[in-house]
Amino acid sequence: MEIRQDIRLAAVDLDGTLMDSANHIGETAIRQIGRLNENGCLVVPCTGRYLRSIPQELLQMGKIRYAITANGAQIWDVKSLTSLFRVKLPPGVVKEVLEVMKGKEGYIELFSQGKSYINEGDVQKAAGKEKDYNFIQYFQRDHVMVPSLYGLEDVWDEAEKLNVFFLEDSDREMLKARLRARGDVQITSSMAGNIEINGASVNKGKAMEWLCGYLGIGREATLAIGDGDNDMEMIGFAAYGIAMGNSPEELKERAVYVTGDHDSGGAEAVLRMIRAF
């Protein structure tokens, strides 16, 4: 693939895209991001994660100025730690999910204002049960651990996103059906067995479009790289929508180009094709 247009904004997913299977970002990729940011192309992490969970070495060495988080529910000016854009979950969603989860297996994360709140007991369960070391490390780092999310009523209506991990298949389908029946939420997934819940208007593409408008950048000067179903809209919005080799077929079909997978430096290869203006 040849990128003929000068790119002014490149939105890059993290998990399964810029990060490899060990959740590691190569130093050469970070250096390339830093060079692009210095030379007129804003590289913007566009992730389902919350702000505090974006690797610090990427933010600092990569000279990141803006970040799209929580699947597009929040946009940050990283330099000033200012929230530029935010869409909260509709009232009652958190309460309904918590009620459904009573007595069931599974873990919940609640995102609010750049932080993630989790039950202390869920951390202990994850450490005792899960074999995925990367997931355990993610779950144990940089979260606000509370005795119970049921006691955080003042935060419920300030949440931008919920993650629900590792429900039994029947319980997961039941929860998805209840949420779809509401008609006011968006349900996506970026890994096997999880549910990501946002407001109905939220997606990475709309957030990318908002940031472009805020910065005065035309769609024709944009690029996006992703691997999951929560990347569909940003791949569709960008002039150059790039799917990773480890993406599902639906995303590959939407993309203008399919690069290598996340363990072979597919995202970095695309970043090296970008010509900053």
Is the model's pLDDT at 126 over the cut of 80?
no
Mean pLDDT across the chain: 92
**According to the CATH classification, is domain 93-199 in 3.40.309.10?**
no
Is the model's pLDDT at 127 over the cut of 70?
no
The whole-number pLDDT of residue 228 equals 92
What is the pTM assigned to this prediction? 0.93
The whole-number pLDDT of residue 267 equals 98
Alpha carbon of 205 to those of 47, 177, 194, 211: distances in Å? 11, 24, 21, 10
C-alpha of 201 from chain center: 15
pLDDT, tens digit, 9 for 90 and up, residues 225-253: 999 989 999 999 999 999 999 999 999 99
Helix axes 93-101, 169-182, angle to 10 degrees: 160
Q: Are 158 and 164 in contact (CB under 8 A)?
A: no
CATH 3.30.1240.10 range(s) for the chain read 93-199
**For the domain bounded by 9-86+203-271, which CATH number is listed?**
3.40.50.1000
The whole-number pLDDT of residue 135 equals 65
